[in-house]
Amino acid sequence: MVQGGNIVTRGVKGFFSAWAKIFQSRGAIIIVGFVIGCVFLYVISRNLDATVIRSAFKNAVWLPWLPLAVLTYILGMLLRGLRLQLLVKNEAVISTGTASNIVAVGFAVNNILPARLGEFVRAGMLSERTGMPYLLSLTITFLERLLDGLVILLLLVTASLIVPATAEMRNWTALAALLFTIALLSVAIITLTPQTAVALASAVTSRLSWKVHTKVVALVTQINRGFGCLRDAQSAILILVSSFFIWLVESIFFMLVMPCFGLPPGFIRAIITMAVTNLGILIPSTPGHVGTYHYVCREALIRVCSIPGMTPGTMEPIAVDPNIAVSYAVIVHSIYYVTVTVWGVYAMAKYTLELGSTAALAYEAKPIRALPDEHAGSMSFITSYPEMSARVEEKVTKFWSGLCECFIPEAHRLPDTEEFHTVLREASTFTVTELERLPFRLRVIFDIGVNVFKAVVVLTTGRFLCHVPLEQRRRLIDAWAFGRIPLSRKFMKPIRSLALFYYYDHPAVQALLDKMSMNRGDATHPEVTL
């Protein structure tokens, strides 16, 4: 660590500046979303009767409806995982549980951060878990959203024939139908005529620069790969059927909350309420759609209940008090928000700090620009030689050297102190360089872990890591690397593995091990546990 607290400050600033770039690029959407959310919250709250709402919650019938609603929502998430598994089966093998966790991470980040950044995090995590290119993962995420929109629209139109839609609902349906029809036509062209799509993209960009032309053709090619699952009739049918089941289960979730507040559990009314609510939150909004979700859900419930239908639970029109409708919207949103956020945070803690496998999966093959002289002309050099970025130069400090030093057994330290510190710095450089190859979102999460570790060291010892005596430093790091907390063990595992891998592969260390073997009269090297 250089100059005490400066390195901690730089690390924190680096984390916030990284996310600041995202917010700046989507600043207008974020601002508009917050404004819209605040407007809806104001419209909802201005005529609310707190007494009626307290009474509604006090007299609500929670059992068995609330637990059933939560279980139904979880079932819907598992179905989303199954659909994702079907979407990527031509490109990668992934379990339903892992796919469901990836979906939950995307929703959780959308609940925490604005501008639907969760879709990008979700695509990044899908790429990391499967090894697929990020652009392909993003294409599959877009295809999921498109399928959701089309199925929701179809369910809304069908349900509206049983319970006639109001003028506002018809307007929502018409606008959403226009947008999704355009997207559907684009998908149809790419899916049914992939060569035509690539040729068209090439022809349109042929007069532009070679760089732009290449990127556009590569983009369309990756999109073609993402939509490849729809070219097989059986896969397309399974994906479409799973999409319908997802939203039918979601409608059951909306229906199960109705009896909590004395409303008849009408399935068709639940379908319309679910469809209008999910179409309504397509507009820019606050994280978790707070305000927008509650307003749209309230209005949809009030209007759909006021119209008689032709199925059980809808035959009689019901005048729903706006306060009851808001209470209903709060519970529906809370189940969705809490369940998926807890699930997503757990999934991020479980997966995103498994950085040993992450580095291998996420590192994309790059051209070998320059090899060290000792490897020139060697056919045994099978991986690219990572360049030393300015960020790596900045991060390879006494902190990282002090951290990596703790993993090296005392018996295997090089006797020459100067040579040992040179090798140690090289090992630290290698470790940081490899960790820098992580996707941006995983790198940000890892940076959070680094800063938390630094803060814990300062709070527990009163000193920065590089100033802590080696033996005390070893005990401290061992408590993280081999302690009872799984998250801290996962955090330290990639650092320990990378540092030891480089250190024991260094020629000077190999010579030391050979000498130690000869002195013992043993033909093999001592075992080294990474």
**CA 464 remoteness from chain centre:** 33
**Category of 263 on φ-ψ map: left (φ > 0), alpha (ψ -120 to 50) or beta:** beta
What are the pLDDT digits (tens) for 402-457? 888 888 888 888 888 888 888 888 888 888 888 877 766 567 677 777 878 887 88
Listed range (165-179, 451-465, 505-519) with the worst mean pLDDT: 165-179
* Spatial distance between the Cα atoms of 446 and 486, rounded to a whole number of angstroms: 15
- pLDDT category, 352, cuts 50, 70, 90? low
What are the pLDDT digits (tens) for 244-276? 999 999 999 999 999 999 999 989 999 999 998
CA atoms within 13 A on the CB side of 305: 21
What are the pLDDT digits (tens) for 111-142? 887 767 788 888 888 887 887 887 788 888 88
Percent of the chain past pLDDT 70, that is, above it, reads 79
* Spatial distance between the Cα atoms of 424 and 486, rounded to a whole number of angstroms: 27
Domain boundaries, the chain: 29-351, 370-376+383-520
Candidates 299, 364, 295; CA nearest to 127 is 364
Q: Give the DSSP H or E segment for 21.
A: helix 5-25
pLDDT at site 387: 46
- pLDDT category, 354, cuts 50, 70, 90? very low
**CA 90 remoteness from chain centre:** 22
Listed range (24-38, 99-113, 128-142, 180-194) with the worst mean pLDDT: 24-38
* Spatial distance between the Cα atoms of 201 and 221, rounded to a whole number of angstroms: 10
Assess whether the previous peptide bond of 526 is cis (omega < 30° from 0): no
pLDDT at site 522: 52
Residue 210 neighbours by CB distance under 10 Å: 9
Listed range (8-17, 222-231, 280-289, 368-377) with the worst mean pLDDT: 368-377
500 vs 381, higher pLDDT: 500
Whether residue 397 contacts residue 1, with contact meaning beta carbons closer than 8 Å, is answered with: yes
Helices (H), 60-166: 65-87, 96-112, 118-130, 134-162
Per-residue pLDDT at 490 exceeds 70: yes
For residues 40-58, give the mean pLDDT. 87
Per-residue pLDDT at 325 exceeds 90: yes
Candidates 316, 289, 353; CA nearest to 107 is 289
pTM of structure: 0.61
pLDDT at site 369: 39
Cα angle for residues 345, 347, 353 (degrees, 5° grid): 95
Q: What is the mean pLDDT of the chain?
A: 78
pLDDT at site 360: 39
For residues 330-336, give the mean pLDDT. 95
pLDDT at site 530: 45
pLDDT at site 165: 65
* Spatial distance between the Cα atoms of 98 and 107, rounded to a whole number of angstroms: 15
